[in-house]
């Protein structure tokens, strides 16, 4: 599908500077632009590329001033980055699959399917499950019994959602995600044998949550593991049983959250963070990558290290650690000096 510069400018509320009839059919980075593609310039560091790019159209801010001859058509807007993001949304919508239910999908007779929903080949929907309207369920998705999936949610290929779980509206669940597997619960016996503790809870995911590829969220032993509204989870994250993650918290890849942890709202947690069980992490907390959390964290704290402590103290301690060899040499020199003095 092709669009002219004039059509794109009208969509974005921008102004064409160049040929309004030039056409594009795909998107590109400004440094890799080729004819027939559209790009954008928002970061001044990339300004030099606009003079050599082969992209047919480039979106720029209204205040952009050219210092050389341009070979591309410009679309001037108030916010080039925001405008390009809007175009990406439209581009994504165009590429979406049609709202049909494949004959090769397996859907229980007792399941309820909403309007304009896509269910791909070899997807499975269990007994008494409810799938909302405008949902997209890609091939080979497994949805167990008594599951609820809200409107406008996208579930990519290979996702497994166990029975009794609830997924909110406008969620995005990427390939390989497992929601509702058993929590890691085992009771030790005197014989050193571990007996499995049956997990009878579920997982509740509220609206506007995005879950990255191959992330796993275990169901609760009793009650619910809860992911609150607006949470964004990266790839390869482990969320254990009975965890609760507060609204709009963002967690980067390879983080592991042990059972019954309570994480507040608006937190930022870096990659490869490990959080011990039964802890409470307050609101607006920031945790640096690779930190090990073994105690509760108050609202607004910034934490770093393993075991973690306040980031200011950590940085001071790290300076001394980097200079530890010099300090030891000075100490040894001082010991040698004292010994020589005592010999006289």
**Which residues are known catalytic residues?**
241
Beta-bridge mates of residue 280: 262
SS3 335: helix
Contacts of 232 (CB under 8 A, 6+ apart): 209, 210, 249, 250, 251
Q: How far apart are alpha carbons 337 and 344 in whole angstroms? A: 11
Instruction: Quickly list DSSP for 189-248.
Output: -TTS-EEEPPP--EEEE-TT-EE-TT-EEEPPSSSEEEE-TT-EE-SS-EE-TT-EE-TT
Helix (H) or strand (E) segment spanning residue 76:
strand 73-77
In the chain, count of helices (H) and strands (E)?
Answer: 4, 39
SS3 149: strand
C-beta neighbour count of 128 within 10 angstroms:
14
Residues 207 and 225 sit within 8 Å (Cβ to Cβ): no
Q: How far apart are alpha carbons 38 and 59 in whole angstroms? A: 8
Instruction: Report the half-sphere exposure of 121 (CA within 13 A, side-chain side).
Output: 1
């Amino acid at each position: 599908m092709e669009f002219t510069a004039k059509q794109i400018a009208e969509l974005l509320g921008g102004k064409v500077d160049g040929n309004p009839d030039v056409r594009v059919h795909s998107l590109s980075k400004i440094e890799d632009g080729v004819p027939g593609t559209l790009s954008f310039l928002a970061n001044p560091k990339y300004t030099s590329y606009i003079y050599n790019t082969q992209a047919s159209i480039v979106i720029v801010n209204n205040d952009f001033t050219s210092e050389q001859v341009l070979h591309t058509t410009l679309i001037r807007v108030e916010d080039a980055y925001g405008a390009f993001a809007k175009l990406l949304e439209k581009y994504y919508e165009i590429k979406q699959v049609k709202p049909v239910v494949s004959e090769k999908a397996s859907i229980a007779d007792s399941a309820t399917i909403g309007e304009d929903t896509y269910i791909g080949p070899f997807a499975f929907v269990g007994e008494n499950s409810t799938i909302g309207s405008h949902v997209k369920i890609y091939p080979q998705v497994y949805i167990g019994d008594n599951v609820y999936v809200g409107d406008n949610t996208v579930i990519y290929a290979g996702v497994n959602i166990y029975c009794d779980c609830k997924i909110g509206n406008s969620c995005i669940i990427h390939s390989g995600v497992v929601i509702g597997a058993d929590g890691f619960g085992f009771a030790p016996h005197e014989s050193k044998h571990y007996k499995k503790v049956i997990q009878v809870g579920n997982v509740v995911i509220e609206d506007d949550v995005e879950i990255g590829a191959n992330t796993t969220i275990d169901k609760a032993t009793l009650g619910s593991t809860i992911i609150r509204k607006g949470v964004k989870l990266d790839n390869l994250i482990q969320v254990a049983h009975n965890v609760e993650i507060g609204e709009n918290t963002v967690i980067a890849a390879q983080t592991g959250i042990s059972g019954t942890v309570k994480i507040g709202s608006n937190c930022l947690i870096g990659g490869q963070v490990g959080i011990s069980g039964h802890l409470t992490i307050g609101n607006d907390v920031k945790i640096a990558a690779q930190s090990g959390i073994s105690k509760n964290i108050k609202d607004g704290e910034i934490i770093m290290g393993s075991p973690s402590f306040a980031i200011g103290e950590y940085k001071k301690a790290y300076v001394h650690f980097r200079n530890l060899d010099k300090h030891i040499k000075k100490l040894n020199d001082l010991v040698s000096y004292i010994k020589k003095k005592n010999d006289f």
